[in-house]
Amino acid sequence: MPPEATVLRTVLAGVVLSVSAVVGVDAAAVLPAGAASLESVGNPGRYVRHQDSLARLDPVSPVSAAQLKSDATFTIVNGLASPACYSFQARNGQFLRHRDWRLRIDTNTGDATFRADATFCAVDGALASYNYPGRRVRQRDFALWLDAVVDTPEFRADSAFRIVAPWAPRTTRNPVLPGLFADPHIAAFNGRYYLYPTTDGYASWSGTYYKAFSSADLVTWTDHGVILDHGPDVSWADNSAWAPAVAAANGRYYLYFSGGAAGGNTAKQLGVAVSGSPAGPFRDALGVPLVRSGQFSGGQAIDPMVFTDDDGRSYLYWGQGVARAVPLHADMVSFDPAQVRTITPAGYNEAPFVFKRNGVYYLMWSENDTRSEDYRVAYATGAGPLGPWTPRGVVLQKRLDAGIKGPGHHSVVRAPGTDTWYIAYHRFAVPAGDGTNRETAIDPMTFGADGSIRPVVPSP
pLDDT in tens, the chain (460 residues): 443 332 222 223 234 443 323 222 233 578 999 999 999 999 999 999 999 999 999 999 999 999 999 999 999 999 999 999 999 999 999 999 999 999 999 999 999 999 999 999 998 768 999 999 999 999 999 999 999 999 999 999 999 999 999 999 999 999 999 999 999 999 999 999 999 999 999 999 999 999 999 999 999 999 999 999 999 999 999 999 999 999 999 999 999 999 999 999 999 999 999 999 999 999 999 999 999 999 999 999 999 999 999 999 999 999 999 999 999 999 999 999 999 999 999 999 999 999 999 999 999 999 999 999 999 999 999 999 999 999 999 999 999 999 999 999 999 999 999 999 999 999 999 999 999 999 999 999 999 999 999 999 999 9
Count of CB atoms within 10 A of residue 349's CB? 22
pLDDT at site 403: 97
pLDDT at site 123: 83
The model's pTM:
0.94
Give CA 187 to chain center in angstroms. Answer: 15
Strand order in the sheet with 305-308: 305-308, 314-318, 324-327, 341-342
Mention every residue, 6+ apart, whose C-beta is less than 8 A from residue 449: none
> For 228, what's the count of Cα atoms within 13 Å in the CB-facing half-sphere?
36
Alpha helices in 359-451 (DSSP H): none
pLDDT at site 28: 57
CA angle 226, 17, 53 (to 5 degrees): 85
Active site residues: 183, 350
Which amino acid, one-letter code, is at 93? Answer: G
H/E stretch holding 115 reads helix 112-117
Considering only CA atoms, give the Rg of the chain: 23
pLDDT at site 155: 96
pLDDT at site 23: 24
Sign of CA dihedral 254, 296, 360, 397: positive
Asked if residues 243 and 302 have their Cβ atoms less than 8 Å apart, the reply is yes
Query: Of 157, 164, 131, 125, whose CA–CA distance to 146 is shortest?
Result: 131
Find the farthest-apart pair of alpha carbons in the chain and give their distance in angstroms, rounded.
Answer: 73
3-state class of 162 per DSSP?
A: strand
Which amino acid, one-letter code, is at 266? Answer: T
Q: How many residues does the chain have?
A: 460
pLDDT at site 17: 41
Asked if residues 247 and 254 have their Cβ atoms less than 8 Å apart, the reply is yes
Query: Cα dihedral angle (327, 330, 334, 335), rounded to 10 degrees?
Result: -30
Q: 1-35: b or e for each residue (b if 16 or more CB lie within 10 Å)?
A: bbeebeebbeebeebbbbbeebeeeeeebebebbb
Phi/psi at 10 (5° precision): -65, -45
